[in-house]
């Protein structure tokens, strides 16, 4: 590779990494290494369903992170009792 091509690869590698994570998730846990159907329309429909599953999985992970038990607890404030 030329010096310019190496530089270009280095610059886009940060974006490529984020994009490729989604495809890796679709291939491994969602078993999308091969299409299950013949025909462009059916394969397109399967790809859309897999992408919806991926987005639902991401949303579920976000909700799990926002659950109250995952937040650090605030220290209890004790009120002074007047005797």
Backbone angles phi and psi of 71, in degrees to 5: -85, 145
CA 58, 60, 61, 63 torsion: positive or negative?
positive
Mean pLDDT of successive 10-residue stretches along the chain, which has 83 residues: 91 86 82 87 92 87 71 62 59
pTM: 0.58
The per-residue pLDDT for 79 is 60
Cα–chain-centroid distance for residue 3? 33
């Amino acid at each position: 590779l030329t010096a310019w091509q190496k530089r270009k690869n280095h610059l886009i590698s940060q974006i490529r990494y984020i994009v490729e994570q989604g495809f890796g998730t679709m291939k491994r846990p969602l078993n999308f290494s091969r299409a299950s159907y013949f025909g462009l329309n059916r394969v397109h429909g399967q790809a859309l369903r897999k992408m919806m599953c991926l987005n639902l999985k991401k949303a579920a992970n976000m909700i799990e992170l926002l659950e109250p038990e995952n937040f650090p607890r605030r220290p209890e404030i004790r009120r002074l009792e007047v005797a």
